[in-house]
């Protein structure tokens, strides 16, 4: 199948550890950029403050970790060490700040290490509510968003009003709708857009202003929708686990080559956090709060409304998947703890699953290929 036009540029962006797109944006606009560690940040609030949110996702296997080992333990996940290495080697000097959220204890500690090592940056830590069913959570989260808004205003020197917040929400809704089209293609015609190409499309959001990403996605989706390709006899799976540290692109390729169609996944969840558009007809921060509490996807770093056991079975049904591939980053506790709960639910419902561990610097994939092929055969010939 011929390579899609957007793949080359999207891969260049993903591999650009110097963030040249961001540097160009800063030069052209005179604006400021704030990095954020993966999973969720309220990008709408950052955008409304006229700051550029930049997704910082570690070294993706393209960076040797030398200096970071003097600041964090060697037994933490790769993304933590390589993100710190990016900072210590000056690759993030173009950022004016960094935001971390309470996804896990390692990310929490990294925010402290960051503040100590990069005093020139404004470091923010967003405390998200753990109990989403308590009435107090909405009050608390709205206050936390207000606090962040104030801190971002201080960084940019721009006062954020209700109109600018609504406008930003509207833009991110457009991005969400296009990303939903990408995932609709994955669910309905996965042979038109391989999982690793879809991933690169989403990942481009980490480097680009949302306005550029919307145009990029629109062109890419039109290109994919106009293409034809033959369906393969692959089995449909959900890919769970890589919500924070990013798996090597080669691993995603091998999963499909070995006979799976990844019809939905937990990759880069921050860009698809809400299950529907954020309303633009009420108070903006209240709408973001309600969307976070009521309409967020299942994630290991957020306490769910529905029990995890039920939620994974519902997701499986919605995606029309017949199995689950757990792909956890080495030393990622949230992913490994949830795996235990999910696997019990899948075993009780007689759903096939398999578990793989990955790390950024992984370079041989043959054993992964063999494991996935065996998994596929066990389903096909059951
Ligand atoms: S990969 Fe897992 S353990 Fe590491 S920072 Fe992310 S959520 Fe935390």
10-residue averages of pLDDT along the chain (382 residues): 86 97 98 96 98 97 93 92 97 98 94 96 94 90 98 97 97 97 96 96 97 97 92 95 96 96 96 93 95 88 79 94 96 94 96 96 92 94 81
Ligand 1 centroid–CA 5 distance in Å is: 33
Instruction: Spell out a b/e string for 81-102, using b for 16 or more CB atoms within 10 Å of the CB, else e.
Output: bbbbbbbbbebbebbbbbbbbb
pLDDT for 145 equals: 98
Ligand 1 centroid–CA 61 distance in Å is: 16
> Whose CA is closest to atom 8 on ligand 1?
104
Q: Is 126 left (phi over 0), alpha (psi -120 to 50) or beta?
A: beta
Cα separation, 222 vs 313, in Å, equals 32
Q: Which two tokens stand for residue 206?
A: 């980490």
Q: Which two tokens stand for residue 234?
A: 């692959």
User: Is the CB of residue 72 below 6 angstroms from any atom belonging to ligand 1?
Assistant: no
DSSP state of 44: H
User: Is the CB of residue 245 below 6 angstroms from any atom belonging to ligand 1?
Assistant: yes
How many Cβ atoms are within 10 Å of 258's Cβ, its own excluded?
19
Looking up tokens 């609030």 gives 45
Question: CB of 54 within 8 A of CB of 355?
Answer: no
Q: What is the DSSP string of 57-106?
A: ---TT-S--SSGGGTS-TTS-HHHHHHHHHHHTTTTTT-SEEEEE-S-HH
Cα separation, 311 vs 299, in Å, equals 10
Ligand 1 centroid–CA 114 distance in Å is: 16
Q: What is the DSSP string of 260-301?
A: EEEEEE-SSGGGG-BSSPPPSSS-HHHHHHHHHHHSBPP-TT
pLDDT for 1 equals: 66
Ligand 1 centroid–CA 317 distance in Å is: 27
> Whose CA is closest to atom 6 on ligand 1?
244
């Amino acid at each position: 199948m011929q390579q899609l036009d957007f793949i080359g540029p999207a891969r260049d962006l993903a591999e650009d550890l110097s963030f040249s797109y961001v540097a160009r944006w800063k030069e052209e606009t005179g604006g400021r950029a704030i990095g954020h560690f993966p999973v969720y940040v309220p990008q709408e609030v950052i955008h409304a403050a006229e700051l550029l949110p930049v997704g910082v996702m570690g070294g993706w296997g393209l960076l040797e970790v030398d200096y970071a080992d003097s600041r964090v333990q060697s037994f933490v996940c790769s993304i933590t060490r390589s993100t710190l290495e990016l900072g210590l080697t000056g690759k993030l000097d173009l950022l004016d700040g960094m935001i971390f959220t309470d996804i896990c204890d390692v990310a929490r500690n990294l925010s402290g290490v960051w503040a100590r090592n990069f005093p020139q940056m404004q470091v923010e830590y967003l405390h998200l509510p753990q109990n989403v069913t308590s009435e107090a959570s909405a009050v608390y989260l709205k206050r936390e968003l207000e606090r962040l808004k104030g801190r971002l205003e201080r960084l940019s020197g721009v006062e954020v009003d209700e109109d600018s917040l609504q406008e930003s929400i509207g833009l991110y809704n457009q991005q969400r709708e296009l990303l939903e089209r990408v995932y609709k293609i994955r669910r309905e015609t996965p042979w038109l857009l391989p999982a690793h190409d879809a991933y690169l499309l989403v990942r481009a959001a980490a480097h680009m202003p949302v306005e550029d990403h919307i145009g990029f996605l629109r062109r890419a989706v039109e290109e994919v929708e106009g293409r034809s390709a033959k369906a393969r006899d692959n089995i449909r799976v959900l890919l769970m686990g890589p919500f924070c540290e990013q798996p090597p692109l080669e691993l995603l390729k091998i999963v499909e080559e070995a006979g799976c169609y990844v019809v939905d996944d937990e990759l880069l969840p921050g860009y698809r956090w809400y299950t529907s558009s954020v309303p633009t007809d009420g108070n903006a921060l209240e709408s973001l709060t309600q969307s976070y509490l009521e309409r967020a996807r299942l994630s290991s770093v957020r306490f769910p409304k529905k029990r995890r056991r039920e939620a994974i079975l519902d997701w499986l049904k919605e995606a029309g998947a017949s199995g689950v591939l757990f792909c956890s980053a080495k030393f990622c506790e949230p992913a490994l703890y949830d795996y235990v709960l999910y696997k019990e639910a899948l075993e009780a419902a007689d759903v096939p699953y398999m578990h793989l561990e990955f790390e950024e610097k992984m370079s041989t994939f043959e054993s992964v290929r063999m494991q996935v092929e065996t998994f596929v055969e066990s389903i096909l010939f059951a």
